[in-house]
Amino acid sequence: MWWNPTACHPNSLHNGLVDGGASARVANWLNARMLRVGLTGGIGSGKSTVAARLAELGATVIDADRIAREVVEPGTDGLAEIVAEFGESVLTAGGELDRTALAAKAFADDESRARLNAITHPRIGRRTVELMQQAAPDAIVVHDIPLLVEGGMGANYHLVLVVDADEDVRVERLVGSRGMAEQDARARIAAQATREQREAAADVWLDNSGTQEKVRAEVDELWHERLVPFEANVRLRAPRPPKPPVIVEPDPTWAVQAERLLARVRVAAGDKAVRVDHIGSTAVPGLPAKDTIDLQLTVRTLADADLIGDALSDAGFVRAEGHWFDQPQDESTPPERWHKRFHYGADPQRPVNLHVRSTEGPAWRLALLFRDWIREHPKEAEVYADIKQRLARAHADDASSLNYSEEKQSWVDAAFVRAQRWAADTGWEA
């Protein structure tokens, strides 16, 4: 495929206090190479069991709940400012924060809530950054944060781990271990993110409805098979090992996975990004494909691409060595306009190709055109699927996908001509 690179290969008060607005969006730690894992889950899901096991395995666990309590402990300027803002009645007789009393005042209206957040969030953020910066360069930092999904913070982590359990199991735990009334437990669960919202945010989903032994075994496998090599790949900029082409049936979650990845690209690229898009076969619903998600980051110039190369690598999209370019599709465009940068995903269990292209050349537009054209032409998609499957079988014993990609090129080149004609006829625009 032409976009495969041709290269010279070488909701309680407590949760309100820990809302991650500041703590997860402080930019200081986003460029660190350490692997950042966002850990979240609904009340009663058993998230603490997972966090404890990750800590035993060697993770640096940063507990947002604990930080939220620390910044308003007796003697802190955080507590002093809360008292100055909301009055002495928010203190217990012993001088500690009375969370129930504060909730009655701070959550009475949006303005009061904003005043509380203005006190707590910056302090939570600064303390989170301090702890991040204290972690070793090769650390796997697990940020245990209840409202990660509600706050839309997933893009700030290399990977989001969601712990879940059946509602009845969660209610049983809350009634048994916390002494809640069943009605209160169900109300607390209903006030948090839905299962569907958490599924959309999750790179890893752990069902903790069963025994502790079962979930601990799953955490062990995640640690050794995914997190440890992921961290090494980011820190060492490890080259991605080649592998032969394998075409799989379409995965209906490819689009959702791509959205999570694109959000991370946006954060890393900042204002250098003109646009980010899901391209390639996995962006075409129902099309068999290699289980590799192709993304495109469009920048104004390749100089901009070079400026953000390290930031993308730190975010888990490692820049590939070598000279990368797309197959020229016309003779009128100077060859250098087909040059690009190429990054690949460092996550060993989620292959990603990130193509960084400039608006100074035509390739960024052609990638979007091909995607949209083949979406609108099911017969062409069927032919393309047949070609891919036939070539994948022919090259099943190859060490890499290079020959497979090169042999598809003639069909793709001809398809571009048809796609350009369709674009002219329909008025398609990128």
CA distance 372 to 381: 11
Give the residue among 355, 348, 320, 381 at the shortest CA–CA distance from 243: 348
State the Cα angle at 251 between 247 and 343, rounded to 5°: 70
Token pair 């009475």: residue: 108
Does the annotation flag 176 for ligand binding? no
Answer yes or no: is 47 a known binding residue.
Answer: yes
In whole angstroms, give the CA distance from residue 79 to residue 95: 10
210 is in an annotated binding site: no
DSSP conformation class of 91: B
45 is annotated as contributing to ligand binding: yes
Length of the chain (residues):
430
Q: Distance between CA atoms of 381 and 105, rounded to whole angstroms?
A: 59
| Separation CA 226–CA 28 (nearest Å) | 25
Report CA-CA distances (Å) from 132 to 62, 122, 238, 341.
8, 15, 23, 30
Compute the distance between CA of residue 81 and CA of residue 282 in angstroms, rounded to an integer: 51
**Paired residues of 63 in beta bridges:** 144
Residue of 340, 337, 341 whose CA lies nearest to 328: 337
Q: Which amino acid is at 79?
A: L
> Which residues are known binding-site members for ATP?
44-49
Binding-site residue positions: 44-49
